[in-house]
């Protein structure tokens, strides 16, 4: 039996512009919301809503604008180790190489030193992103712009070798180069835009179960990124991946080590209305077949959101005492929006139609969360 998540990804295979039953433009929209780009650029959301079918071009424009701004103010430099045979001492002498190659007889000495260079992992990653996104955009002028900027970075000494994951993760952005954040966020999203399709290509695809896992994580991150970008920070506090503690009165010595953890996907705090919404995203069908009825809510999910809400009450947090829950599921051509109230906590069960256009997805996400339960 095919799961609801697999049905989203595998149904209607072969349709142009679709990954399974989800339009590719909406996958890109989710990736845009899930990225750090909306936190660093106010231009992204406006352009995405205006051109929902050209998100690859949008990301390329934002990336090229960020790279052009950095090139005008000079790319960030970094230290890199070098070794060379020099006519004067620089840094440390490599005694073994000097003696083995008899360099002193030729008036040179082997040295190891560090030098400032634009050939940093960050800049190499950005150059690779420019070359990658140039193959995805539809406008020839924008494609030429991406390739020209990549060539400019090469002229500045940035090599083509893509950095490893460990190199990139070790590259921290400090206060003096904080202007690189938008450029790096756009570059990461541009690299993610190399999406799987239903057509044969030169790159192997992961198996369907791994595609489902990727889509599940994408949907969770996109929902959190959407609310962080859309809700005004002066009124709303948005938190993602927040761990919750069990209100234990007593436990044995090893109980804490085996007690399952609780982690919310998204928590929205309305600082004006004094309201908290705890959102748990799921990448499954909102209902399933029941024993005594044709369709029923998934009991495990209901117990989970109830535990999130009730475990935090009576602990001195007024928002937690009246918090609301939202189980948010993706769907295709289906709309469910139902609510109950249990022990003073409103719990809503709702879907977001991923086959709709970007404006409809935006309206559904806002409606599902801001509507009172």
Tens of pLDDT along the chain (373 residues)?
Answer: 445 666 676 654 444 566 667 776 787 788 778 877 666 665 555 555 555 556 778 788 889 988 998 888 888 888 888 899 999 999 999 999 999 999 999 999 999 998 888 888 999 999 999 999 998 888 899 999 999 999 999 999 999 999 987 888 888 887 777 778 888 888 888 887 665 555 555 555 444 444 677 778 889 989 998 998 889 999 999 999 999 999 999 999 899 999 999 999 999 999 999 999 999 999 888 888 877 777 888 999 999 999 999 999 999 999 999 999 999 999 988 889 999 999 999 999 999 998 888 888 989 999 988 877 6
Rounded to 10 deg, the angle between the 140-155 and 121-133 helix axes is: 160
What residues have CB less than 8 Å from 259, skipping those under 6 apart?
A: 246, 251
Instruction: Note the pTM of the prediction, 2 decimals.
Output: 0.70
Q: Which helix (H) or strand (E) holds 276?
A: strand 275-281
**Helix extents (H) in the chain:** 4-10, 24-34, 37-40, 43-50, 55-72, 95-100, 121-133, 140-155, 165-170, 180-192, 208-230, 255-258, 299-310, 318-321, 358-370
Question: What angle is formed at CA 229 by the lines to CA 25 and CA 335, rounded to 5 degrees?
Answer: 55
Length of the chain: 373
Determine the pLDDT at residue 215: 78
Q: Which residues make up the CATH 3.40.1350 domain(s) of the chain?
A: 209-248+261-370
Fold that domain 209-248+261-370 belongs to in CATH: Trna Endonuclease; Chain: A, domain 1 (3.40.1350)
Q: What is the CA radius of gyration of the chain?
A: 26
Determine the pLDDT at residue 6: 63
């Amino acid at each position: 039996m095919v799961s609801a998540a697999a049905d989203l990804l595998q149904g209607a295979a072969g349709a142009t512009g679709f990954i399974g039953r989800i339009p590719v433009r909406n996958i890109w929209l989710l990736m845009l919301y899930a990225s750090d780009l909306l936190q660093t650029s106010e231009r992204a959301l406006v352009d995405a809503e205006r051109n929902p079918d050209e998100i690859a071009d949008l990301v390329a424009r934002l990336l090229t604008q960020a790279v052009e701004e950095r090139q005008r103010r000079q790319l960030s430099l970094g230290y890199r180790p070098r070794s060379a045979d020099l006519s004067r001492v620089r840094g440390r002498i490599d005694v073994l190489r000097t003696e083995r190659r008899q360099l002193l007889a030729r008036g040179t000495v082997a040295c190891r030193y560090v030098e400032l260079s634009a050939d940093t992992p960050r800049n190499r990653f950005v150059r690779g992103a420019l070359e990658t996104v140039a193959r995805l955009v539809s406008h020839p002028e924008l494609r030429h712009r991406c390739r020209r900027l990549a060539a400019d970075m090469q002229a500045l000494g940035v090599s083509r070798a893509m950095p490893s994951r460990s190199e990139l993760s070790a590259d921290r952005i400090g206060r003096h180069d904080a202007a690189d954040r938008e450029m790096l966020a756009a570059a990461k999203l541009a690299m993610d835009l190399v999406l799987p399709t239903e057509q044969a290509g030169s790159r192997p695809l992961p198996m369907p179960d791994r595609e489902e896992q990727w889509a599940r994580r994408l949907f969770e991150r996109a929902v959190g990124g959407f609310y962080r970008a859309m809700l005004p920070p002066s009124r709303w506090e948005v938190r993602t991946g927040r761990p919750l503690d069990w209100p234990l009165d007593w436990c044995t010595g090893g109980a804490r080590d085996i007690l399952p953890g609780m982690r919310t996907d998204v928590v929205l705090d309305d600082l004006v209305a004094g309201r908290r919404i705890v959102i748990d995203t799921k990448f499954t069908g909102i209902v399933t077949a029941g024993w005594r009825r044709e369709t029923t809510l998934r009991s495990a999910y209901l117990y989970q959101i109830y535990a999130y809400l009730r475990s935090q009450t009576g602990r001195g947090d007024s928002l937690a005492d009246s918090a609301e829950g939202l189980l948010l599921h993706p769907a295709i051509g289906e709309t469910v929006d139902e609510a109950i109230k249990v022990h003073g906590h409103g719990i809503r069960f709702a879907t977001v139609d991923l086959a709709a256009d970007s404006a409809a997805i935006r309206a559904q996400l806002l409606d599902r969360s801001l509507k009172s339960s």
